[in-house]
Amino acid sequence: MRRIDNLNLWGRLLLAVPAGALATLSFAPYQFWYLAPLSLIVFFTLLQNQRPKTAFWTGLAWGLGLFGSGVWWVHVSIADFGGMPIAAGLFLMALLIGYLALFPALFGALFARLGHGRPFHQLMLIGPVLWLLLDWLRGWLFTGFPWLWLGYGQIHGPFASFAPILGVEGLTLALVLSCGALVAAGYYRNWKPLMLPALIFFLAYQAKGIEWVQPDPYKPVKVALVQGNIPQAMKWRPDQQWPTLMKYLDLTRENWDADVIIWPEAAIPALEQQVGTFLSRLDEAARMNQSAVITGVLDKTEQGEFFNNILTLGVNRDGEYHYDTVSRYSKHHLLPFGEFVPFGDILRPIAPFFNLPMSSFSRGDFIQPNLEANGYALAPALCYEIAFSEQVRQNVGMGTDMLLTLSNDAWFGRSIGPHQHMEIAQMRALETGKPLLRATNTGVTAVVDHHGQIIAELPQFETGVLRATVTPTKGLTPYVSLGSWPLYLYMLWAVTLSWLLVKRRRGDFRDTNPQEGVH
C-alpha cells in the first residue's frame, strides 16, 4: 500500500474519481453493497500522510466521482421540463455536483489537518466523527440534500441490522469505522485494528436475530395502491383533468373490497376547492363500500398559500368530507426549485426553469398527527421528505400502524433516481420497524415489510393497481425511541479519547525533550 505515497496530485485525482463513482454502484438499482467499502478503502488510503491542501483536492475528486455518477438524473427534470438551453442545464448540474463534492473535500482537508501524524486517531476516531458531522451538515444546509448517504447502500449488506438501533447514520458509521480500521491495518502493517471490524461484524450478526417490534396478526389490512402512469407532460393540461380523474376512479372501482386504496402524490390534477363535488362523491362511494381512499391533492388557502397535501376520504375519523373539517397532511420538507425557489427574486427572471408550475409552496408543520384510514394509523411523508429520517422518526408513535409515502418520480424518467428514492423509503421501514406503503404515478409503487424488504411492486411506467395484505406492527425500535443520541454519545467519546491520547503523547514528548517550552 505504501507505493501509493509515490503518487503525485494528479495521480491521486485520477484514482479518486473512479473510486467515488464505484460507491454509486452500492445503491439501487445496482445494489452491489460491497463496492462502497472498496471505494472508501481506496479513498482513505489516498489520504494517508497528505497535507490538507492535497487531501482537499483528493476529497473533491472522490466527491465528483460519487455525485457525478450518482445524482446526474436531476438533469432529466431540467432538460425535459425546465425550458432551459442544454448548456445552461448542464451548468446547473455542474454547480449541484460541485457543491455536493465540497463535503468530501472538506472531510479530506480536516482529516489531514486534525489527524496528521496520528494515523489511528485519524482513521478510527476523528475520521468517523468528521464523516457523520459532514453528512448531517449536508442533510441540513440549504434545507438539506441527504441523498447518497453511504448507509443507504448497505440495506442489503451485513450492517443492515444496525438500522433499527442507530438509523441509516449507524450503518454509515459502521462502514467508515470498518474501512478505517482495514486501512490502518494494511497501510501501517499493524493488525490490531482488525479487531474493530471483527467486533462490528459480530455485533451486527447478533443484532440480526432481534425482533424489535411485533407484527399484529389481528389487524391485517388489504391495500390497493393505484399507479396511474400519467405522463408528466400531460398531467396538468386542462383538457386532461377529467380523463385523469376518470382513470383513477375506474381503477378504484375495481378494488372497493380493499380496506385502504391509495392514490399517488397530487394524483388529482387540480386544486382541492376546484374539485369539491368530485371529492364528496368519491368519499360517499368509499363509505358505501366500507373502504378508505387516500390521495394527494394540492390546495390553495384563502390567504393565497399553496400546500402539497394528503387527504383521507371514506371511512375515517373525520366523518363525511367537508373542505373546512377534513384532516390534511401538509408537506413540510419542500423540494428546492421544484416546490420553492431559494433566492426566487433573483433566479425567477433568469430562466423558465425557476418558474415551474406550483413552485411556491408553504410548509406544513414538522410534526403532524398520523392520518387515519379505516381504523389504521399511517405516518405520512410526501415524496422527497421520505429522505429525512429524523422527520419520519418523530412522526411515528406507539399508535402508528404503517408508514405511507406518496410520490411522483415521472420528473426523472427512466433514470436511476426513482430506484434510489425507493431504497431510501425501504430504509425508513427498517429503521422504524413499520411496513411502508408507497404509491407513485409512474413507479416505483411498492409495499415494504417492517424488515425493509419489498414484498410486492408494480413495473414502472405501467398503469396498474398493486394489491397486498399488510400486517402492521406494534412497539417501537430503539432508533424511534432514542433517535441519534447514541451516535452523539459515541462522537463525544471519540473526540474525548482522541484529545486524551494526543495530550498524553505531547506529555511523553515533552518528558523526552526537557528543553521544550524553555524561552
Q: How far is CA 3 from the centre of its chain?
A: 38
Query: Distance between CA 481 and CA 394 in Å, rounded?
Result: 9
For the chain, give me the number of helices (H) and strands (E)? 17, 15
Angstrom CA distances, 174 to 129, 187, 451, stand at 12, 20, 19
Query: Distance between CA 381 and CA 392 in Å, rounded?
Result: 7
**Catalytically annotated residues:** 265, 331, 383
Closest residue by Cα to residue 311 from 360, 267, 246, 362: 267
Whole-angstrom Cα Rg for the chain:
25
Burial of 405 (0-12, 13-18, 19+ CB in 10 A): buried
Query: Distance between CA 59 and CA 25 in Å, rounded?
Result: 19
Query: Distance between CA 266 and CA 407 in Å, rounded?
Result: 8
> Could you give the angle at the alpha carbon of 323 between the alpha carbons of 319 and 325, nearest 5°?
50
Output the furthest CA–CA distance in the chain (Å, rounded). Answer: 91
H, E, C per residue of 366-385: CCCCCEEECCEEEEEEEHHH
Residue 164 near residue 478, CB atoms below 8 Å: yes
H, E, C per residue of 183-248: HHHHHCCCCHHHHHHHHHHHHHHHHHCCCCCEECCCCCEEEEEEECCCCHHHHCCHHHHHHHHHHH
What nine digits make up the cell of 323? 373542505
